[in-house]
Structure 1
Amino acid sequence: MGISRKATARWEGDLKSGRGSISTPQSGLMDGTRYGFNSRFGDEKGTNPEELIAAAHAGCFSMALSAKLTEAGHPPESIETSAEVDLSMEGGPTMTAIRLKTRAKVPGIDASGFRAIADDAKQNCPVSKALSAVPIELDAELEG
């Protein structure tokens, strides 16, 4: 049996003047977190689907990279990843690119070995697999 995670979204009103809320009942981390047209397409305070996808991707990739580095005998001291999701409005809203940027402190590994493992993590983390219809770029560097 697999693991199942749940989130809920509620929307009230039309697209532009309506408002919504997102909750994550299992963790309780988000409880009625606000989102709407202006937090997605403008700069109003609140979250949006692309931000949540970016957060999920950064977290998943970092965990996958840690697992793969550890399996290769190089447990990391630290990994910091940011993810940026581009949304194009041409022809209707479409996610057009995801850019992962990771910096890691990993004792005992060279840059080429690290890059190969990072590329593998990018291809095989569950979120990358789910988002495979969107081009994913990776900028991965060792620190220290």
Structure 2
Amino acid sequence: MKRNATAVWKGSLKEGGGKLTTQSKVLENTQYSFHSRFEEGIGTNPEELVAAAHSGCFTMQLSAYVTEAGFEIENIETKCVINLVEGTIIESHLTVNAKIKGISDAVFQELVTKAEKNCPVSKLLKAEITSMATLV
């Protein structure tokens, strides 16, 4: 399975702006800019999108492990905070609140750690990056 998204940027870093579109069209020409990334401008930013991807992926992975362990999930809520310092993402912190019938805290913590290490986005954050570029 492959998924894609496209970014189009026009202008300089600080005065320019971009639009993001995802394959599913959930994001379609969604605005992003220097101001939405580093200040409080309107639009999204790459770190917010990584946070959404990581919280969603982790929560699905945790759900799979909890179900596999035989417990019934009422609710799992995960907040992800991406920390960007001096041009480098240095941390992705997950805060999880869950209501799961019959599970002990020890088992829950074990499954959280397992999901943290094994969800595809967690693995991506350690992945090799490749590229191909064409000047037009």
TM over 0.5: yes
1:21 is paired with a residue whose SS is: strand
Give the AA of the match of 1:42: E
1:141 alignment counterpart? none
Match of residue 120 from structure 2: 126
- Assess if the C-alpha contact under 8 Å between 1:65 and 1:121 holds in 2: yes
1:77 shift after superposition = 1.1
In structure 1, runs of 5+ residues without a counterpart are: 134-144
CA RMSD, Structure 1 to Structure 2 (Å): 1.0
Identity of aligned residues (%): 49
Name 1:33's counterpart in structure 2: 30
Deviation per CA, 1:15-55: give whole Å up to 9, x if none.
1111000001x311111000011111111111000000000
Given the alignment of the two structures, is residue 101 of structure 1 paired with residue 80 of structure 2, yes or no?
no
> 1:25-104 to 2 correspondence within 5 Å?
26-89=23-86, 93-104=87-98
Aligned partners of 1:113 and 1:86: how far apart in 2? Answer: 28
Q: What count of residue pairs does the alignment treat as equivalent?
A: 127
TM-score (norm 2): 0.90
**Cα offset, 1:132, TM superposition:** 3.1
AA in 1 matched with 2:4: K
Name the counterpart of 1:16: 14
State how far apart, in whole Å, the 2-side matches of 1:19 and 1:127 are: 27
**Any conservation in 2 of the 1:39–1:48 contact (CA below 8 Å)?**
yes
